[in-house]
Amino acid sequence: MGGITMRWNMKRSMLALVATGVIFAAGCSGKEESSASGSSSDQEEMAVRIAYNLPKEHAVGVFFETLADEIEKRTENTSIHLTAQTFSDGQLYNDTQMTDAISTGGVEIGGINAGMIASDSAQLIESFDMPFLFASWEAEKAGIAGDYGKFIGDDFEKLNVKIIGWSKYGTSDVYANFPIHVPDDIKKKKMRSVGKTVTDWLESTGASPTSMSSQEVFQAMERKMIDGYVTGPSSVIDRSFFEVTKYGTEMNLTQSSFPAGANLDWWNGLPEDVQKAILEAGEVAAEASFEKAYEDDQIYKQKMKDNGMELYKPTAEELELWQESARPIHEKFAQKSDLAKQLMESIDKINEQYPAE
């Protein structure tokens, strides 16, 4: 912890020097123009590092590459012109390192896999891994734009992170070497899990969950070490899981987005016009990412079918059974605190407005 504190104090000092330089330059310019005029003679320039852990072609990558372009464009005429450099594929930090890197100033902006976070001070973030949290793509989008997004944003600030947008990862589902129609079908089966709440859910259905990386799933299925797994459609295709998997579901077990976080102290040191430009850039990037993720989801699912997999879409009655299987997980989470209860109530309202298709 001492090393982190020292690095952060140094970072904060550097930010203070930058801010002082900006104020001094503005005071000595002798011009009556407002900072928003963006005169090339008095505009400060600042470099921004933007890091994330997926390829540029992924919907998450589309978000951050679009964000970088939009930030540069939208700050051309603000009091500070930001020049953005992106680092994809975990070049700077991987999923487990990213939140700490943003929090301590190791990077100005980064993509956060919130399911990797375990924090007693920010317990609402645990909801990211929760099965059937959102009933549909539209419900998640509306939730992020509403109370859910605000609750999560406030929680991240406890970690010294400012949420400036949301990149869409996609969905995840259940896949196996046996037909899957209802929760009882995975009872007593060895299932690869992802995240704490998915693991809790699998246990509640009577399955036997085991954690392993995506790189291990193919071999585990081939050697019958596991009976099935939870993952996203992109992994089934990109990692050739379809070669060792016959069956899957089409029920959107989870809707996953990766928040884009900025170091809070860096953010607070920016002028309001620059902050406004960044948030606007985040909105544009989020829309592009969401559209890309939805298109890719359909493409990957069709590719699975083309490769001989059978994807089963539960009936309304069967989907209700799946959703009910996750209800104890939701209720347990809601009992954590008043805020957790409010968060779940806000999601219930959104799901009523945007039910599953």
Domains contained in the chain, CATH given: 45-169+256-297 (3.40.190.170), 173-254+310-353 (3.40.190.170)
Is the model's pLDDT at 9 over the cut of 60? no
Which pLDDT band, with edges at 50, 70 and 90, does 120 fall under? low
Residues 205, 228: contact at Cβ < 8 Å? no
Which pLDDT band, with edges at 50, 70 and 90, does 119 fall under? low
Q: Of 154 and 1, which is predicted with more confidence? A: 154
Q: Give me the percent of the chain exceeding a pLDDT of 90.
A: 74
Residues 60, 168: contact at Cβ < 8 Å? yes
Q: In this predicted structure, what is the pLDDT of residue 215?
A: 80
Is the model's pLDDT at 47 over the cut of 90? yes
Per-residue model confidence as pLDDT tens digits over 246-299 = 999 999 999 989 999 999 999 999 999 999 999 999 999 999 999 999 999 999
Which pLDDT band, with edges at 50, 70 and 90, does 84 fall under? very high
Which pLDDT band, with edges at 50, 70 and 90, does 38 fall under? very low
Amino acid symbol at 338: D
Element (H, E) at 259: strand 254-263
CA distance 142 to 66: 21
Pairing of strands 254-263, 228-231: unpaired
Is the model's pLDDT at 353 over the cut of 90? yes
CA distance 125 to 133: 13
Amino acid symbol at 150: K
Q: Give me the percent of the chain exceeding a pLDDT of 70.
A: 87
Is the model's pLDDT at 308 over the cut of 70? yes
Average pLDDT over every residue of 98-107: 95
